[in-house]
Structure 1
């Protein structure tokens, strides 16, 4: 199993009506702002361990488990909304970087969904971000207003399926089954890293029949689609307000083509990035969407070089 070079410690922070789990590395420093790492959909904060280990210098790093993921409870909701992540992040920054006149701008890094949250938050609160790094956070395909009625109907149908127990996440008889699932999703993931991640990505839980199975630490309600159609105009307005120098890091494997074919392309996303006042794009070779697992040394190097300015 992978051996962490810089083990994290767990902290629990009150955030709105939730008890947020946060992984922390290092100690606060007056010389450097906190480095905040935001994980993606169906992932956990521990996913950043390989990048943290690959950093050349130690820093004060905080990485939350988003609501309904990892060790952070979801609060009993039956679906999740992007604005909640923005507000949760604000509470976390108040705790770790001060608030009001005492607030320190942070270095913010997000992967996938976390990258989307980071970009939106940096537009909503531009003064709170010193430098911004987005790893594979592309947003969503453009939608047309006439798609809204069917979208609301699909959202209601999925809520019904969730409450009937039809959207539950799969369980595994052993933790190595979780590791195999991770390697199936990402063929570049090595067994030592997969086994380590599996032990943080899942937990042994009692079942209704009295047995125990390894369950993914993610709320099935995250599978519910967003009721609202994606608004590109709103996203561009947020991008335009970003003050922080921004680094966009993409994997050589074109994730957008794999997900959306010609429905949404990398070229279209790059057009959206033109709204960001100061942005640079880098590509990581021999990597897929989970590029921070595939090439942690390369990703860590890009992040450190960019944050050093």
Structure 2
């Protein structure tokens, strides 16, 4: 399955919002086309996200609910469609200001804006380049800031170290997919179609099962190869947790199966004994005791 098909299959079934706790990263082409400083306006509108960290190249749908955010995306969509996206430090903040968002975020392009029948506004954005907020210019009617682009160095050459990291990341991802049945099978197809080391890292950074603060730490690592190594540590930890869960689950299932088996056998024995007119070992012992009482035995023998 091509990445485009993966995108089309899951775009509308996995809509996330500003309160989203998990996002499935979707990609149109696997290319992220980093921006240059001249591509940005002098002041960039900043969209805070409660429970998400956007990485370059990754495409995600977001349902926007806050009035400030709705005004921001509607104006941006009418102009150059370029916005800044930054994760909130505290997901419970309903009106996050300068001190409540991380300074390192991602410049994104709004690919599509949809107004759904329920009145919610949904945007589909793709991360372009990492950025750092240098100065917040205003907080009303929405956050705007002056930012600097953060470029990163990924060694795409097929040297031994890079090849080893790529194989390790893909191998860890396959293990997680196998251990976690909740992840769509199409994710495996998407994974196989990723050839860029940079995009592979960003795709997996978006998809790992960890907290926002951990994903934020990954985003803030400037060296791409070091980010991939840090990502691998999180993935190996996730594998250990998933394997432990499976061990516990299998043990519990084994215990239950043994109990069910014993109960079933006892029930079967009872049915057979009833059919044969045999009340079982206890009834047989009672009959023998009754016969013994009728015998003229010495006390020692009777005992």
Asked if TM exceeds 0.5, the reply is no
If the TM-score is normalised by the length of the shorter chain, which range does it land in?
Answer: under 0.3
Larger radius of gyration: 2
**Whose RCO is larger (CA < 8 A, sep 6+)?**
1
Give TM-score scaled by structure 2 length: 0.26
